[in-house]
Structure formats: structure tokens, C-alpha cells
Amino acid sequence: MGVAIVHEWYDHGFEDYVDNARWEEQAKHGQYLERWRDPNDEVWNEPIVSACATDSGNPDRVLFQAVNWSYTTADEWVADLRKIVPLLQQKFSNLRRIDMFTMPRTPGNVPCANLVEQEPDEKTKDSRIKRQVLPFVDEALERIAAEFPGLVGIAPKVYAPDCSVYLPLSAHWKEADFPKMAKLYGDIYAGEK
């Protein structure tokens, strides 16, 4: 579950690496943390792609891609995640595990020159690096995992192979490179039963 980036790797080869009868996707552009925290937001009604063979719509595990471009502190992230975790439990009675993950990271999680926005962000007064995952994001995920032990975990970090996979000044990879991203995620989850 999450934003459009999930669709970009899921729909471009991810199911070639996993048992596709046991995986499904629910994602759309603009489905940021602040939308998922609202139980009445339309994000919860987004259609499922490639539904599971059994219990589609009531998974026992959710991989949740946490994304927000405007928050600048771990506390902002934690406030939303504290609402999202119980909502996932309410919506999915079979739920036993939530794995939180971030956007795919730049190589080494350092800025790519082709991703630096030209104008400073008004809130931070600094250039935003859209693919670099800032330390407060990881801190927030660690705090939520600690608050919900046994239920919430942190998925492995995924790194881009190089900066050329990104569209200039974008939060998205080039479409031709979507299969590379699918393989990165597929390699993580391929061995799971």
C-alpha cells in the first residue's frame, strides 16, 4: 500500500519474483501519510491490483510505503503513523504484520545532482532532495516499530543502482528502469512463503 512508486515496481515485474497468488497492490499517486491517517479518505477505497487468490481485501500482512514531502521532523511522521497503524488493524481483521518502508533511496542515500530542486523549499529554506531519505524519516519508522513491537517492522532499505534511473527533478524513476526497481523489491521478498 502506498503512493504511485509502489505501482511502478509492483506492476513491472515484482510478481515474477514472488508467489503472485499471495501478493496484491493498492497504491495511487498522492496517497501520502496525511491521507492514510483519515479513515474516511478515498485512499482506503482505491481498487486492488492483482488481487490475492484468498482473503483479497483482508490481508494478514501489509507493506506500507510511508511518504510525505512536506514534513521536516520525526514527530510529524510519528503522529500520522500512530493513527495509520490502528486503522490498518481496524480495516483488516486478518492483519498480523505491518512492514513500513520508505521511498527507494538514492545510491548511498546521498543527493543526486539531477534531483535537486532549483528553488529552495519555503518550509526548510533549503533545496529538497526528493529521493534522499532524510534521517528523521528512519527515526520515525524506528519509533513506530518500537511502539508496536511484534506488529510493526521496518522493511529493508532499497537503493537505486545509480542516479541515471531518475527522471530529472522528479520523485520517479524512468519507466524503462521500473523493471530494475521491481527486481530490487523482488529479491527482498522472493524467498518468503
Q: What is the pLDDT of residues 105-163, one digit of tens each?
A: 989 988 887 776 655 555 544 445 556 788 999 999 999 999 999 999 999 999 999 99
Which residue is listed with cell 519507466? Answer: 175
Residue 126: per-residue pLDDT: 47
CB 36 within 8 A of CB 21: no
**Cα 90–62–34 angle (5° rounding)?**
70
Portion of the chain with pLDDT greater than 70, in percent: 91
Residue 113: per-residue pLDDT: 78
Q: 4-189 in CATH: which number?
A: 3.40.50
Give dist(CA 27, CA 100) in Å, integer: 14
**Grid coordinates of 128:** 529538497
Domain ranges in the chain?
A: 4-189
Nearest of 77, 65, 82, 69 to residue 136 by alpha carbon = 77
Q: What is the pLDDT of residues 2-34, one digit of tens each?
A: 888 898 999 999 999 999 899 999 887 778 888
